[in-house]
Amino acid sequence: MKPSPPDPLFALGVIAGLALGVFVGVSMGNVAYGMPIGALLGVVLGVIMSRAGNDQQ
Amino acid sequence: MKIDAVHTARPSIYKPLILALLLVFFLAATGYQAISSGIDYTLVVGVFATRFLGIFVEAAPFLLLGSITAGLIEAFVKAEDIWRLAPRNRLAATVMGAFLGLVFPVCECGVVPVTRRLFNKGLPVSLGVAFLLGAPFMNPIVFASTYIAFGFGPVFVSRIVITILVAVIVGMVIGAFAKPSAVLKPVAQEQDHSHEHQAPAGTRAKLLQALQIAADEFFEMGRFLVIGAALAALMQTLVPQESLLALGEGPVLSVLFMQALAYILSVCSTVDSFLALAFVNTFSTGAIVSFLSFGPMVDIKSTLMFTGVFRKRIVLYLILLPFMLNLLAGVLVNFALGF
C-alpha cells in the first residue's frame, strides 16, 4: 500500500523528480537551487507512480 | 474491523496529485510576486535551497541511524523481552522511558521509527511516549554538546530537569487513556505485522532482515523529512527573524518566541546548543532553556514524521502538551532566576 523502497515505480518517480529539480537548478544557474523542489517533486511523483502502479495490479 | 477496512482500501493518487499542483502553483505565485516586486528571486531561492539542504543533510544521517536501530530492534528484540524489562508500575515505566535515550542514542529524526518498532513489540504507551520526547536530549551526544556550549550551570541542569519532567508528565497523561493500538495509525501497524510473519532464524538472516526494515523505514520517514525540511526552510526564508526578535521581550513572550523559533528552525538536537548560544545575550535564561528542551521534542520535521506514524489526536497531544509544559517551565525559570 505504501511506497516501499523495492517498488521500482517509486524509485522512478523519485529519480524523475530529482531530474526535474536538476533541470530547474541548471536553468537558474545553480544546481543546488533546484534540489528542494527536486526532492519534493521526487516524493510526490514517487507516491503517485507507486499508487498508480498498485491500482493497476 | 477498522484495521481490515484500511487493509483493503486503496489509497488514491489524487491527494499527492493535488499536492503537486498546489506546490507548482505556490512556486509560480511566489516567483511571479518576487519578479514583479523587483526582488532578486535567485537570492531568495538560494537562501531557501541552502536552508533546505542544511536541515536535510544534517538530519538524514541521524534518520539513517534511527532506521538501522529500528531494524535491529525489529529483528533481534522479542516482544517478551520488552515485557520482561519494562516495569509494571506506570510511573516507574515512564521514568525509565525518559532515560531510555541513554541506551538508544537517537535524535528527534531517528526516534520516531525506533518508537514505532518498540510500540509494535508491545512497549507500554507511557514508556514509549516518554522515550519519544526524552530521547532526543537524554543521550550522551547531546549531553556533551550542551555541556561544551553552556558548561555545568543553570541552562544545562534546567534542560535535563525540564526534559525529564515534561517527558514523564506527557507520557503519564497519554498512557492513562490510550492503548497501544489507539496510538499508532493502522497503516503503521499493518506494515509492522507484515514483517512479523516472516521472522528468520539465523543471525545472518536476521541481519539482512534488519537492513531491509531499516531501508524501508528510512524511505518511509524520509518522505516526511523532505516535506518537513522544505516547510521549515520556507518558514525561515519567509519569516525574518529580526521581525520576531522585537516581539520576544518579557518573561513570557521571550519564552514563547524561542519556542516558536525552535519549532520553525527544526535544528537537530545534537547541534541546537551552539545555535542557542548565539541568543544568550538577547534572551532570558528561561527562553533559552525552553528553546533547548522544546525543540528536540517537537519541531516542524518531527511533526510531519509524527503524522506518518501516530493518530491525529495523539499528534495533537504530542505537540500541545510539551508546548504548554515547556512554556510554563521556561516562565518559572525566568522568575526563579529573577528576570
ipTM over 0.90: no
pLDDT at residue A3, as a whole number: 44
Residues of A in contact with B4 (CB under 8 A): none
Distance CA(A54)–CA(B12), nearest Å, equals 10
Cβ-based contacts of A1 with chain B (< 8 Å): 10-11, 187, 190
- A40/B226 touch (CB, cutoff 8 Å), yes or no: yes
Nearest to B53 among A3, A32, A40 (CB): A32
Positions of chain B with pLDDT lower than 70, given as ranges: 1-16, 20, 27-28, 30-35, 37-39, 79, 187-201, 240-248, 339
B114–chain A nearest CA distance, Å: 18
CA distance B274 to B161: 20
Q: CA quadruple B130, B135, B138, B139: dihedral positive or negative?
A: positive
Nearest to B107 by CA among B72, B78, B69, B76: B69
Crossing angle for the helix pair B111-120 and B203-238, to the nearest 10 degrees: 130
Residue B106 near residue B139, CB atoms below 8 Å = yes
The answer to whether B75 touches B206, Cβ cutoff 8 Å, is yes
Q: Which residues on A lie below 8 Å from B52 (Cβ)?
A: 35-36, 39
**Opening angle at CA B241, ends B235 and B245, nearest 5:** 135
pLDDT at A1: 38
pTM (2 d.p.): 0.74
**Rounded to a whole number, what is the distance in angstroms from the first to the last CA of chain B?**
55
pLDDT of residue B5: 42
CA distance B74 to B114: 9
C-alpha cell recorded at residue B244: 520576531
Say if the Cβ atoms of B20 and A45 lie within 8 Å. yes
Beta bridge partners of B104: none
